[in-house]
Amino acid sequence: MRPAERLERIPPYLFAQLEQKIADKRAAGVDVISLGIGDPDMPTPPNVVEVMERAVRDPGTHRYPSNRGRPEFREAVTSFYRRRFGVELDPETQVMPAIGGKECIFNINFAFLDEGDVALAADPGYPPYTGGPLIADAEPVLMPLVPELGFVPDLSAIPDSALERARLMFVNYPNNPTGAIVPDGFFDRVVEFAREHDLLVVHDSAYSELTYDGYVAPSFLATPGAMDVGVEVFSLSKGWNMTGWRCAAIAGNADAVAAYWRLKTNVDSGLFDAVQLAGAEALTGPQDSVREMCAIYTRRRNLVIDALREIGIQIEPPRGTIYVWAPVPEGHTSASFAEEVLKQSGVVVSPGSAYGPNGEGFFRISLTVPDERLAEAVERMRSSFEEVVREPEL
């Protein structure tokens, strides 16, 4: 048996590797605290679970769903976009369910890239922006995100040789892994750039509802002209603690949504109807739990920022996402630091280099563990940081 060569082109998925390391440590008796993956620790809001319970008992939801999606789901996304972002969508042509944002991002590559085409992907960035194009026989071209530019790509630095072949551009704000929010005017520049180079912009808004200190994230689709050049991938995973449900939507340019639909009808059989009904409830029901989550993450973020400050790592508190992105102490690479922290304190942090070459020199902490465990992790890290910082001088 020989797996396809394309599998060799992609590195093993970071969190699959981390899971193994954590399992090994736990088997050796270590009380591991994982601040690696961003998987919310709090339950899905009860009103959503209740709708799911009713829906799953209704045999009408037990058959193949349509890839186009239930009208209730498409209309819920449409009304949410109107209320929350001031964006008007046609629920018939501009909205479709997805089996999670990851599926949607991955499949967009297959719907829009041919062999030799280019997808422009943020570096550091969510791994499927690069893995997707590679598996689709295309080429990801990295757009560096550096702190000096507020973690937005310098569009003028993208080489012409890449732009000639570029079909897709992935952007994501609030940004994973850097926690950056979109600066004023950047989405307008992206629209102009996409027009100039005939690109489909894919804005991944996985963290739009998790923002702090009064910041409210916009939709890319609210940018004048965005509907002509782009789609937004809107996931319910993080905002409503629904990572296990696999519930997301694609919204925006009708031709792009139709291309995604055409591909999907050949790939899968749609999102479970009961999950669509529960997702509709999440979007149209009470939003208190989203506000509560923002308060919880603000508290946890401050805990981590204070602890880092005490050991000499000064960073601006992120105003969005569920991550803290921080520079590794001098004398370490991202990987050596993450290894060391795991070894000395039993705490898992993600090495920045796993998100792309420009992630080197950073590490990421996820705020998705209960407060007391996070406090313990931070405390353990505080002592191991001292060890780690001292170690290279020994």
* 366 near ligand PLP (CB under 6 A): no
* 289 near ligand PLP (CB under 6 A): no
* 176 near ligand PLP (CB under 6 A): yes
Q: Of residues 237-256, which lie at the interface with ligand PLP (CB under 6 A)? A: 237, 243, 248
Q: Give long-range contacts, CB 8 A cutoff, 24+ apart: 252-257.
A: 252/89, 252/94, 252/221, 252/226, 252/227, 253/94, 253/200, 253/227, 253/228, 253/229, 254/90, 254/93, 254/94, 256/108, 256/111, 256/112, 256/200, 256/230, 256/231, 257/93, 257/94, 257/95, 257/96, 257/231
- Least Å from the CB of residue 177 to ligand PLP: 8
Pick the closer one to ligand PLP by CB: 44 or 172: 172
Q: At which residue do the structure tokens 């060799």 appear? A: 8
* 208 near ligand PLP (CB under 6 A): no
Q: Of residues 320-359, which lie at the interface with ligand PLP (CB under 6 A)? A: none
* 172 near ligand PLP (CB under 6 A): yes
Applying CB under 6 A, the span of 24-32, 95-103, 310-318, 358-366 interacting with ligand PLP comes to 95-103
- Least Å from the CB of residue 164 to ligand PLP: 27
**Would you give the distance in Å from CA 392 to the centre of its chain?**
34
Q: Which residues contact 155 (CB under 8 A, 6 or more apart)?
A: 143, 189, 190, 193
- Least Å from the CB of residue 16 to ligand PLP: 14
Q: Provide the sign of the torsion angle of the four alpha carbons 190, 152, 255, 138, taken in this order.
A: positive
- Least Å from the CB of residue 126 to ligand PLP: 4
* 101 near ligand PLP (CB under 6 A): yes
- Least Å from the CB of residue 356 to ligand PLP: 13
Applying CB under 6 A, the span of 99-107, 112-120, 334-342, 345-353 interacting with ligand PLP comes to 99-107
Query: What CA dihedral angle connects 280, 226, 158 and 364, to 10 degrees?
Result: -30
* 126 near ligand PLP (CB under 6 A): yes
d(CA 116, CA 55): 44
Please, what is the Cα angle at 254 between 248 and 255, to 5 degrees?
115
Q: Of residues 20-79, which lie at the interface with ligand PLP (CB under 6 A)? A: 38
Binding site for ligand PLP (CB under 6 A): 38, 100-102, 126, 172, 176, 204, 206, 235, 237, 243, 248
